[in-house]
């Protein structure tokens, strides 16, 4: 009997029963059979402050028990338009950042070559560098929608490069991004110096602060849609982009962040773009409160995939 790439009905198996998987999806390891493969990266060897994101994939899988497929804002039933599965975890060795990034890149490339959307759950933000390397082997440089408190375009720390705060500088230097098609959302201070955003600005990144989004969310949504040029895009979501009152379980929390509803609205806006991959990173369950951050991450993942499903339902690539 063929695998049904959708969650089992909670009327058949209760949400609190069974093995925890991303969005309650079947476990499957062949990307050629699906439209989207969700993969965990339990690695936090690039963290510069509080560790714990290596447990993020487990936390999100457990929180995913409350996920649902119908998204009323878009009117789309996610799993009617996107066959999805849980592809397990990439082998992440705590002492081997380079090897872990290589394995992430290999997995991302394999999924992309199969024509499926890559979706990764971390893990610290360094993991994203591996994903972008893998996608670039298939699509070339990609555009980027990046939600975060930090620009992650910073210099080496203690002589170490890369780390989770250098990812998008590294990506520019390696030719993985189309800098004229990069939008960073939720970035905020205070900063370590007046030059903290210098690299991002000189690289051509469009930066929209959390305060600007609080003032005018509609303008931010329009900025996302305006990125569309028909090219491939990647969506990267660091949970510290959301205010720590709503996402406390993360290594570098910064007050003044997005509200969770604003973050979800921004993910819905990515339906305007040809998204070939996405992630949600920096979930640290041991630092969380009542699974708030893991629950948010599960919903961010579902909303991003629902945006991909909506685009497909509209007959767009």
Residues 268-298, buried b or exposed e (16+ Cβ, 10 A)?
A: bbbbbbbbbbbbbbbbbbebbeebbbbbbbb
pLDDT of residue 257: 98
Whole-number pLDDT of residue 9: 82
**128 touches 176 (CB < 8 A):** no
pLDDT tens, 164-201?
A: 999 999 999 999 999 899 999 999 999 999 999 999 99
Return phi, psi of residue 40, to 5°.
-90, 145
What digits encode the pLDDT tens for the residues 99-113? Answer: 999 999 999 999 999
Which has the closest alpha carbon to 61: 84, 40, 31, 78? 40
* Three-class secondary structure assignment of 218-278: HHHHHHHHHCCCCCEEEEEEEHHHECCCCCCCCCCCCCCCECHHHHHHHHHHHHHCEEEEE
pLDDT score for 1: 44
Which whole-number Å values give the CA distances from 35 to 10, 245, 293, in the listed order? 23, 35, 27
| Vertex 89 angle, CA 86 and 95, to 5° | 165
- Angle between helix axes 292-313 and 260-269 (nearest 10 degrees) is 20
Positive or negative CA dihedral for 89, 94, 100, 104?
positive
Quick check: 279 and 131 in contact, CB under 8 A? Answer: yes
* Two structure tokens written together for 132: 């972008």
22-313: which CATH topology? 3.40.800
pLDDT mean for each 10 residues of the chain (317 residues): 76 86 94 97 96 97 93 92 97 96 98 98 98 98 98 94 96 96 96 94 97 98 97 98 98 97 98 98 97 97 97 91
């Amino acid at each position: 009997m063929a695998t049904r790439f959708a969650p089992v009905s909670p009327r058949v198996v209760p949400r609190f029963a069974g093995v925890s998987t991303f969005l309650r999806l079947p476990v499957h390891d062949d990307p050629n059979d699906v439209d989207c493969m969700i993969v965990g990266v339990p690695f936090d060897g690039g963290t510069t402050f509080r560790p714990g994101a290596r447990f993020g994939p487990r936390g999100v899988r457990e929180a995913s028990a409350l996920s649902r497929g119908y998204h009323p804002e878009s009117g789309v039933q996610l799993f009617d338009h996107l066959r999805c599965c849980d592809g397990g975890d990439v082998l992440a060795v705590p002492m081997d950042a380079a090897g872990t990034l290589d394995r992430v890149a290999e997995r991302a490339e394999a999924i992309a070559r199969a024509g499926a959307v890559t979706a990764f759950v971390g893990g610290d933000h360094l993991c994203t560098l591996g994903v972008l390397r893998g996608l670039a082997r298939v699509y070339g440089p990609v555009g980027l929608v990046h939600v975060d408190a930090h620009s992650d375009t910073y210099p080496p720390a203690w002589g170490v490069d890369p780390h989770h705060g250098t990812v998008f500088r590294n990506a520019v230097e390696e030719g993985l991004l189309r800098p004229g098609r990069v939008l960073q959302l939720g970035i905020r201070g205070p900063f370590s110096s007046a030059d903290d955003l210098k690299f991002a600005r000189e690289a051509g990144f469009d930066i929209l602060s959390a305060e600007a989004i609080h003032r005018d969310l509609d303008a931010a949504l329009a900025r996302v849609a305006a990125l569309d040029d028909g090219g491939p895009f990647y969506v990267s979501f660091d949970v510290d982009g959301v205010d720590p009152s709503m996402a406390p379980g993360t290594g570098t929390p910064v007050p003044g962040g997005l509200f969770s509803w604003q973050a979800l609205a921004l993910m819905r806006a990515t339906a305007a773009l040809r998204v070939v991959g996405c992630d949600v990173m920096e979930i640290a369950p041991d630092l969380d409160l009542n699974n708030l951050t893991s629950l948010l991450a599960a919903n961010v993942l579902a909303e991003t995939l629902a945006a991909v499903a909506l685009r497909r339902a509209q007959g767009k690539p």
